[in-house]
Amino acid sequence: MIETVGYDIVYRGQPINVDDISPKKSIWVTYDYDFANEYGNVKEYKLPKNLNILDTNCYNEWENLVDEFDEDGDYEEYKYEPTDEFVSFLNSKGYDGFMNGDNILIFDKSLLTLRKFIKTIIQEHLTESYNNDNIFYHGSTDKNLAGKKGIHVGTKLAATQALQARIGVPSEGEWDGTREYGKTLLAGKNTLKNKSQELGYYCATGFNCGHDIPEEDYYPIQRNERAKYSDGTPISFNSKPIVFPVKIIGRMTNSPYMPHTDEKANSMMLRNLKIGNAKSGYYYENIGEDEGSISAVVPNATFLKIL
């Protein structure tokens, strides 16, 4: 067994025809082997755990440092294209590098130690699956896979709770894709109380806790407030909501046995979508729907197969 105590393992991909001797003192590395592999010629390094690495997700600290260095600076731009002067500034503050998602800029590359790469270990780790089959569920107003902020999948309960919070809880039965939304009786305040006891979780969330929700059961067309998608578009009364199983077939950065936090997975996905660099998905531990369960967010529908 190779001794790795005191180190994290990171990767760097670089085309073979590119000179290995970089003129820069700093170096970008990543925890994501597949991302590094897109650049070719992957090398593996030991990253000492005692280095002082600034996490740019600590927004207050990051923004304060950027403001101190450049009062008109762009917080996001410095994460991806830091100038040599900014790197020297952070170094003077006692930092050895900074982390942007799963990517890390090490200010002094001599702090890294080249390590012989053992591909099988990493591949076994990356191909671990949840419940052996990587089967999850997704809730949709029509059996489709879409989402400008990534597509979320999770346990059947998590997907059900998310869909109910978006469009309402049926007064009877469940969203099974056979009923038109506008013609389905939704649970009013009184029924929601009973549903919470019956189902074992709090139902009065999202669309089910608006100020105008009726006491008694009602049809969506009878309520002033409309259920909407995340971009503000009203949900069609003609849609047929459903919770259905899917299989993850695209690349995932981490394993369901080593999930990110809910907040971190979503912030990384949003950032990568914004800059056009969303090439993999993330597993995370839910803090909302089916709390404590494992969910995943992927960039688009090509990462999923409807079962």
Same domain, 284 and 251: yes
Convert the pLDDT of each residue in 56-109 to its tens digit.
877 778 888 999 999 888 888 888 888 889 999 999 999 999 988 778 899 998
User: What residues have CB less than 8 Å from 81, skipping those under 6 apart?
Assistant: none
Same domain, 290 and 244: yes
Distance, in Å, from the CA atom of 134 to the CA atom of 128, rounded to the nearest integer, reads: 9
CA atoms in the 13 A half-sphere facing the CB of 31: 18
Identify the pLDDT of residue 18. Answer: 53
Identify the pLDDT of residue 137. Answer: 92
Domain final residue pick, 96, 126, 156: 126
CB 56 within 8 A of CB 81: no
In a domain, 2, yes or no: no
Split into its structural domains, the chain has a count of: 2
Identify the pLDDT of residue 106. Answer: 93
Same domain, 99 and 86: yes
Burial class of residue 48, CB neighbours in 10 A (0-12, 13-18, 19+): middle
Same domain, 239 and 177: yes
Same domain, 192 and 109: no
Identify the pLDDT of residue 122. Answer: 36
Domain final residue pick, 126, 157, 174: 126
Please state the pTM of the whole predicted model: 0.56
Convert the pLDDT of each residue in 275-295 to its tens digit.
888 888 999 888 777 878 889
CB 137 within 8 A of CB 159: yes
In a domain, 72, yes or no: yes
Strand extents, DSSP E, 172-293: 242-248, 260-261, 282-285
Convert the pLDDT of each residue in 259-274 to its tens digit.
888 888 888 888 888 8
Domain that holds residue 82: 7-126
At position 178, the amino acid (one-letter code) is T
In a domain, 192, yes or no: yes
Percent of the chain predicted with pLDDT > 70: 89
Distance, in Å, from the CA atom of 2 to the CA atom of 23, rounded to the nearest integer, reads: 31
Same domain, 25 and 155: no
Q: 101: phi > 0 → left, psi -120 to 50 → alpha, else beta; which?
A: left
Convert the pLDDT of each residue in 148-163 to its tens digit.
788 899 988 889 988 8
Same domain, 187 and 270: yes
CB 218 within 8 A of CB 118: no
Residue 131 pLDDT class (50, 70, 90 cuts): very low
Domain final residue pick, 88, 107, 126: 126
Q: 40: phi > 0 → left, psi -120 to 50 → alpha, else beta; which?
A: left
Q: Does the pLDDT at position 165 exceed 90?
A: no
- Return the higher-pLDDT residue of 79 and 39: 79
Same domain, 136 and 282: yes
